[in-house]
C-alpha cells in the first residue's frame, strides 16, 4: 500500500511517501525551489517521492494532506462574530488556502495528465494540522503508548493539542484555539527584538544565553497559565486577533505581519531597528522570553503527565524546535522518555498526515520506529563525476579510508569542509549528509565560519556531532539525540577542549552519531578521534543564506562563492587551488 503525504499551501511545504507504513522518501519543496520556507503546492517534492518509490500517481492508494478546512468551524465562526470587520483578515488566507486544498486534483493533473480528477479526489484524505503533528511524533516513535503534545503558531485554528497515543490510535484530550498561541507569543517578541522574518525565532533562542531572565514577572501579564494545564494570551499585547498573521504572495514566500501591539511596545520598549546594535536589554529580554516559554511548556507537560500517568512523551510543532526546552524535559518534568521527529516543524506534516491515515484511519499495524532522517536526494559517484567533468572542475576520487584521512587532515589544518554524502536529511537540521564541518577544538572556528561562509550573527552557536558512545564523557545528560533536537550541558572539564561548539552558557545542541544509521559520517568522526582524541566535529548546515544544498550543483555553487577549503561530493574531492 502506497500513501503520499503532503504539507501544501503552508510554510515549509513538503511531501513524504510510505510503502506499507515504512517511509521511502520525504523532502521539503524548498530544497528544489531554492526559496526558504516555500509555501505552495510541493510538486517537485511529489515527483521526487514518486520517483524514489518507483511508481506513478495512478499507483498511489491514498493521498493525505495535513489540512482540514472543516476543522473547528464553530470556533472560526465564533471568532468572526467576536471580531467583526477586522476579524475577517485573520481568516482570509485560511479561506483562500481552503479553496486551494479543495482543488488539489488540478495540481496533480499538472504532474500526470493521464489520471482523472475523480481518481485523485477519491484518494484524498484531509487530516487536521495538529493531528498530523501528533501522528508524525507518535507513529514514528518507539513507544507503544505515550502522551502527545503538538504546539506551534497555529494550524486549522488550533495552536496546541494534547492527546494519548496507544498502538495505532490517537485520542485527542484537549486543545487551545487561535488567537491564544505560544508560537505567536514567541514570534511577537522575536519581532520586537529586531528579527522580523518568518522562522527567525531560533535567533532569540541563540541570543538568550547572553542575557539574564529579568522580565519573567512582566511576561506573566502576557500569558496566563490556566488550572487545566493550558494557557491564555492577554490580547492587549497582540495585533493577531484583528489582522492576518502570515500571508503568502504569488511567490509563495511566507511573510509574517507584525504581531506586537502598541501596548506591547509601551510595556516592553520600541522595536529594535535592523541597524541598531543588540543592547544588554535585548539579551535579557531574549533570556526572559526563552525561560518563560520553557516554564509554559513544562506547565503543560506536568499537567499532561498527571492526566495520563505515562512515562513517554512525543512532541511536534514549531515550538518543538526549541531544542533548549527539549533538553530540559526529562530533568524538569516527570516524563522519562522523549521522542521528537527530525521534521518536528511544519514540513513534518506530510509525514504525519500519511501515518495518521495508514495507522489511525486504516488501522494498519505500526512500522519500525524512525531513527533516520536520511530520506532525501542522493547521487552516485558516477553521476557526480559526470557533472564535475561537465563543469571542467579538477577533482580526485578516493576510496573511503583515503577520503576520511584526507578530510580529517584538512580539518586539523584549520580547514572548513563542505560534506555532501548519502541521502539528504528531512527536516531543518544538517545531520552529516549536507553539512559544513570544522574542527571543534579551534577557538577561532566560529569566526572562520562566519567570515568564510555563513556571514551570520556572531551570537548564534554551532553544533557538535558526537559519536554516541562518547556522550557520557562529554555531556551531563545521557540520551540518544539523532536529530539535533535537544541541547544539553557540556561537562565543565570538557568545555575548554571543544570551544567552537560550546555555547555561552556551557551547552551544546548535539547530534549523536550512530554507526548503524550513518556509517560514513561515523567513520569520518572516528578517524578524527583517532588523530585528535576528540570524538566530535563541528557541524553546521551546508548553505549560505539559502535552503540546504540538495544537489552536486548546489553544493559546488556554494563552494565557489564562499571561502570553503574543500568540497566532498561522496568520494570526489574538490580542493581550492
Q: Are 462 and 452 in contact (CB under 8 A)?
A: no
Q: What is the largest CA-CA distance in the chain?
A: 69
3-state helix, strand, coil in the chain (%, to 5): 40, 20, 40
Give the pairing of strands 572-575 and 566-569: antiparallel
Q: Show pLDDT as tens, one digit a residue, over the chain (577 residues).
A: 999 999 999 999 999 999 999 999 999 999 999 999 999 999 999 999 999 999 999 999 999 999 988 776 676 666 666 665 555 555 555 556 666 776 788 999 999 999 999 999 999 999 999 999 999 999 999 999 999 999 999 999 999 999 999 999 999 999 999 999 999 999 999 999 999 999 999 999 999 999 999 999 999 999 999 999 999 999 999 985 555 688 888 899 999 999 999 999 999 999 999 899 999 999 999 999 999 999 999 999 999 999 999 999 999 999 999 999 999 999 999 999 999 999 999 999 999 999 999 999 999 999 999 999 999 999 999 999 999 999 999 999 999 999 999 999 999 999 999 999 999 999 999 999 999 999 999 999 988 898 778 778 889 999 999 999 999 999 999 999 999 999 999 999 999 999 999 999 999 999 999 999 999 999 999 999 999 999 999 999 999 989 999 999 999 999 999 999 999 999 999 999 7
All domains in the chain, ordered by first residue: 2-135+350-361 (3.30.420), 139-340 (3.30.420.40), 381-575 (3.90.870.20)
Would you tell me how many other CB atoms lie within 10 Å of the CB of residue 35?
15
Hunting for cell 568520494 — which residue is that? 571
Which helix H or strand E contains 293, and what residues bound it?
Answer: helix 280-308
CB 230 within 8 A of CB 300: yes
Query: How big is the chain by its Cα radius of gyration, in Å?
Result: 23
End-to-end, the C-alpha distance of the chain in Å comes to 51
Contacts 24+ apart (CB under 8 A), 116-125: 119/58, 120/57, 120/63, 123/60, 123/61, 123/62, 123/63, 124/63, 124/64, 124/65, 125/62, 125/63, 125/64, 125/65, 125/353, 125/357, 125/361
d(CA 436, CA 433): 9
**d(Cα 167, Cα 165) in Å, to the nearest integer?**
7
Alpha helix stretches (DSSP H) within 54-167: 73-82, 87-102, 104-111, 117-121, 129-138
Q: How far apart are CA 481 and CA 454, in angstroms?
A: 25
Beta strands per DSSP E along 111-209: 124-126, 145-155, 158-166, 169-177
Q: Give the C-alpha separation, 276 to 283, whole Å.
A: 13
Instruction: Kindly report each contact of residues 251-256 with a partner whose C-beta sits within 8 Å and lies 24 or more positions away, as own/partner.
Output: 251/35, 252/13, 252/35, 252/38, 252/39, 252/40, 253/35, 253/36, 253/37, 253/38, 253/39, 253/198, 254/11, 254/37, 254/39, 254/198, 255/198, 256/187, 256/191, 256/196, 256/197, 256/198
Return d(Cα 511, Cα 466) in angstroms, integer: 6
Sequence-ordered alpha helix ranges (H) in 437-551: 445-449, 471-474, 492-495, 519-532
Dist. CA 469–CA 422, nearest whole Å:
22
Number of residues that make up the chain: 577
- Nearest alpha-carbon partner for 485 in 327, 375, 312, 351: 327
Whether the CB-CB separation of 502 and 444 falls below 8 Å is answered with: no
Instruction: Say what the pLDDT of residue 245 is.
Output: 81
Q: 456: Cβ–Cβ under 8 A, 6 or more apart, which residues?
A: 450, 545
Amino acid at each position: 500500500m502506497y500513501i503520499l503525504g503532503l504539507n501544501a499551501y503552508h510554510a515549509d511545504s513538503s511531501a513524504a511517501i510510505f510503502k506499507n507504513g515504512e517511509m521511502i522518501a520525504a523532502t521539503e519543496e524548498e530544497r528544489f525551489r531554492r526559496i526558504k520556507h516555500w509555501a505552495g503546492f510541493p510538486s517537485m517534492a511529489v515527483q521526487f517521492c514518486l520517483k524514489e518509490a518507483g511508481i506513478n500517481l495512478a499507483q498511489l492508494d491514498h493521498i493525505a494532506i495535513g489540512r482540514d478546512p472543516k476543522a473547528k468551524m464553530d470556533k472560526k465562526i465564533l471568532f468572526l462574530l467576536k471580531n467583526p470587520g477586522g476579524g475577517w483578515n485573520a481568516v482570509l488566507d485560511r479561506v483562500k488556502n481552503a479553496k486551494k486544498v479543495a482543488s488539489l486534483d488540478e495540481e496533480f493533473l499538472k504532474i500526470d495528465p493521464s489520471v482523472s480528477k475523480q481518481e485523485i479526489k477519491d484518494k484524498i484524505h484531509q487530516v487536521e494540522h495538529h493531528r498530523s503533528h501528533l501522528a508524525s511524533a507518535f507513529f514514528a516513535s518507539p513507544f507503544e503508548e505515550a502522551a502527545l503534545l503538538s504546539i506551534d503558531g497555529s494550524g486549522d485554528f488550533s495552536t496546541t493539542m494534547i492527546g494519548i497515543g496507544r498502538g495505532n490510535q490517537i485520542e485527542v484530550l484537549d486543545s487551545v484555539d487561535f488567537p491564544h498561541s505560544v508560537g505567536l507569543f514567541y514570534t511577537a517578541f522575536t519581532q520586537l527584538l529586531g528579527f522580523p522574518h518568518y522562522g527567525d525565532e531560533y535567533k532569540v533562542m541563540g541570543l538568550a544565553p547572553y542575557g539574564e531572565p529579568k522580565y519573567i514577572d512582566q511576561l506573566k501579564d502576557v500569558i496566563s497559565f490556566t488550572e487545566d494545564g493550558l494557557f491564555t494570551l492577554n490580547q492587549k499585547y497582540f495585533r493577531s486577533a484583528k489582522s492576518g498573521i502570515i500571508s503568502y504572495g504569488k511567490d509563495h514566500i511566507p511573510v509574517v505581519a507584525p504581531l506586537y501591539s502598541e501596548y506591547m511596545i509601551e510595556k516592553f520598549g520600541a522595536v529594535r531597528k535592523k541597524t541598531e546594535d543588540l543592547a544588554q536589554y535585548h539579551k535579557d529580554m531574549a533570556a526572559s522570553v526563552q525561560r518563560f516559554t520553557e516554564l509554559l511548556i513544562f506547565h503543560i507537560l506536568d499537567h499532561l503527565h498527571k492526566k495520563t500517568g505515562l512515562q513517554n512523551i512525543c512532541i511536534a510543532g514549531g515550538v518543538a524546535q526549541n531544542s533548549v526546552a527539549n533538553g530540559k524535559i526529562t530533568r524538569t518534568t516527570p516524563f522519562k522518555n522523549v521522542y521528537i521527529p527530525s521534521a518536528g516543524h511544519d514540513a513534518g506534516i506530510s509525514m504525519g498526515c500519511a501515518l495518521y491515515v495508514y495507522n489511525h484511519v486504516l488501522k494498519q499495524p505500526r512500522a519500525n520506529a524512525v531513527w533516520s532522517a536520511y530520506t532525501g536526494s542522493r547521487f552516485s559517484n558516477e553521476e557526480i563525476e559526470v557533472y564535475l567533468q561537465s563543469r571542467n572542475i579538477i577533482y580526485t576520487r578516493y576510496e573511503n579510508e583515503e577520503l576520511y584521512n584526507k578530510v580529517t587532515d584538512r580539518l586539523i589544518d584549520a580547514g572548513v569542509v563542505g560534506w555532501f554524502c548519502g541521502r539528504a536529511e528531512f527536516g531543518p537540521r544538517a545531520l552529516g549528509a549536507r553539512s559544513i564541518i570544522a574542527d571543534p577544538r579551534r577557538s577561532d572556528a566560529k569566526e572562520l565560519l562566519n567570515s568564510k561562509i555563513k556571514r551570520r550573527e556572531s551570537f548564534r552557536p554551532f553544533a557538535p556531532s558526537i559519536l554516541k558512545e562518547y556522550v557520557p564523557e562529554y555531556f551531563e545528560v545521557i540520551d540518544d539525540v539523532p536529530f539535533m533536537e535537544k541541547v544539553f550541558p557540556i561537562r565543565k572539564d570538557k568545555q575548554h577542549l571543544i570551544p567552537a561548539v560550546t555555547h555561552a552558557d556551557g551547552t551544546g545542541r548535539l547530534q549523536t552519531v550512530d554507526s548503524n544509521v550513518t556509517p560514513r559520517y561515523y567513520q569520518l568522526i572516528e578517524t578524527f578521534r583517532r588523530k585528535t582524541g576528540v570524538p566530535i566535529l563541528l557541524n553546521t548546515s551546508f548553505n549560505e543564506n539559502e535552503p540546504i544544498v540538495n544537489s552536486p550543483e548546489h553544493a559546488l555553487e556554494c563552494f565557489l562563492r564562499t571561502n570553503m577549503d574543500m568540497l566532498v561530493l561522496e568520494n570526489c574531492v574538490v580542493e581550492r587551488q
